[in-house]
């Protein structure tokens, strides 16, 4: 079972109840997948050549696995063709044996804004909710986390993660392709929980934060990253249809309202550690993501507005603690 190491780690860290639940959930999850492309994506992973990575560096801007000398140009070209069958790559960058996967998001930029302002992750158990393809999970492991667990319901993102992990199978990191609703309501004791780019997709943001709290041990830290609006009041933008061509955006809070949500959910010591407007330097079309990106989502005559006329994306990162 590919999750055996995770189950053992959960048992060793007072989360045996979740380990037992996963033993039932995971087989059912994969047995009942009904997605036309999933078998194709699994074949991509199976067909990737087995190459031993001579080195792994998770503390660089690119999650770097292997060295260029570990394989020849023909093998590297084959890996590139296979991984392109898993496009679009939204989060990155990655470097596999000298092959650079330049994803839509230069996620290293966001990581640089937060890594020095959160509690140290060394020897910590970390949960990343809405983790995408796991780029940030790898960076968390690069900070010497004891074990990193990501959850995200996207089977494409899961497949991208499995492709990367094929070349680093012994790392203490896993991604489970389900959402927060599948987590147990109690008996989770993570030291740190990340939820980045999720809360504005939730109908009930305070309930989402309370679910995060249930995943943390006392004294544990949450890191919330969210779209925000520039307002000094307890305001929220509620898009009438889409926001920057994104659907399922229920509400975008002001920073003051975001902090109130977090406080109302029972957290303490809330800190705003970064506020940054997203630019086309950070999010753009690349060889590995060839669909529309931020440039297409902004008003061409005023880049400080979205194509719908709303304020352009600003993102805030907030930390808080469970009492």
* 129 inside domain: no
Question: 10 Å Cβ neighbour count for 89?
Answer: 25
| Averaged pLDDT in 10-residue chunks for the chain of 323 residues | 92 96 96 94 97 98 98 98 98 98 98 98 98 98 98 98 97 97 94 98 97 97 98 97 96 98 98 98 98 97 97 98 98
What are the φ/ψ torsions at residue 102 (nearest 5 degrees)?
A: -90, 95
pLDDT value of position 147: 98
Q: Is 73 exposed, middle or buried (0-12, 13-18, 19+ CB in 10 A)?
A: exposed
pLDDT value of position 190: 98
* 186 inside domain: no
CA-atom Rg of the chain in angstroms: 20
Kindly report each contact of residues 259-265 with a partner whose C-beta sits within 8 Å and lies 24 or more positions away, as own/partner: 259/318, 260/234, 261/199, 261/205, 261/206, 261/209, 262/209, 262/222, 262/224, 262/318, 262/320, 264/206, 264/209, 265/206, 265/209, 265/210, 265/212, 265/213
pLDDT value of position 187: 86
* 81 inside domain: no
Q: What is the extent of the structural domain holding 274?
A: 218-323
Q: Is 119 exposed, middle or buried (0-12, 13-18, 19+ CB in 10 A)?
A: middle
Residues linked to residue 225 through DSSP beta bridges, in sequence order: 196, 317
Secondary structure class of 125 (helix, strand, coil): strand
Instruction: Count Cα neighbours of 81 within 13 Å in the Cβ-side half-sphere.
Output: 8
Q: CA-CA distance, 130 to 282, in Å (whole number)? A: 19
* 39 inside domain: no
- How many separate domains does the chain show? 1
* 72 inside domain: no
* 284 inside domain: yes
Is pTM beyond 0.95? Reply is yes
H-assigned helices in the chain = 4-12, 16-31, 38-47, 73-83, 107-114, 135-142, 155-165, 205-214, 255-264, 294-297
* 316 inside domain: yes
What are the φ/ψ torsions at residue 320 (nearest 5 degrees)?
A: -160, 170
Q: CA-CA distance, 317 to 299, in Å (whole number)? A: 25
- Contact assessment for residue 134 and residue 159, using Cβ atoms and an 8 Å cutoff: no
H-assigned helices in 170-238 = 205-214
* 317 inside domain: yes
pLDDT value of position 186: 86
- Contact assessment for residue 238 and residue 250, using Cβ atoms and an 8 Å cutoff: yes
């Amino acid at each position: 079972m590919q999750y055996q190491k995770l189950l053992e780690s959960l048992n060793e860290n007072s989360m045996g109840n979740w380990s037992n639940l996963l033993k039932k959930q995971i087989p059912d999850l994969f047995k009942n997948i009904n997605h036309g492309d999933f078998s194709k994506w699994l074949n991509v992973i199976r067909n990737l050549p087995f190459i031993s990575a001579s080195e792994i560096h998770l503390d660089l801007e690119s999650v770097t696995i292997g060295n260029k000398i570990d394989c020849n140009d023909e093998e590297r070209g084959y890996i590139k063709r296979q991984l392109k069958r898993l496009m679009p790559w939204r989060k990155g960058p990655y470097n596999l044996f000298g092959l650079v996967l330049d994803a839509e998001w230069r996620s290293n930029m966001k990581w640089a804004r937060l890594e020095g302002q959160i509690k140290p992750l060394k020897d910590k158990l970390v949960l990343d909710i809405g983790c995408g393809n796991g780029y940030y999970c790898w960076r968390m492991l690069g900070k010497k986390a004891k074990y990193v667990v990501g959850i995200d319901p996207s089977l494409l993102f899961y497949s991208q993660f499995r492709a990367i992990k094929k070349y680093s199978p012994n790392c203490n990191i896993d991604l489970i392709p389900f959402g927060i609703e599948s987590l147990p309501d109690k008996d989770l004791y993570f030291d740190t929980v990340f939820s980045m780019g999720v809360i504005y997709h939730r109908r009930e943001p305070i309930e989402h934060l309370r679910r995060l709290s249930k995943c943390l041990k006392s004294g544990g830290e949450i890191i919330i990253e969210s779209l925000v609006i520039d307002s000094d009041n307890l305001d929220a933008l509620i898009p009438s249809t889409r926001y920057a061509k994104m659907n399922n955006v229920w509400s975008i809070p002001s920073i003051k309202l975001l902090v109130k949500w977090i406080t109302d959910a029972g957290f303490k010591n809330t800190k705003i550690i970064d506020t940054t407007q997203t630019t086309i330097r950070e999010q753009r079309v690349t060889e590995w993501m060839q669909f529309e990106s931020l440039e297409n989502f902004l008003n061409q005559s005023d880049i400080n507005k979205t194509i719908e006329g709303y304020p352009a994306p600003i993102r805030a990162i907030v930390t808080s603690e469970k009492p």
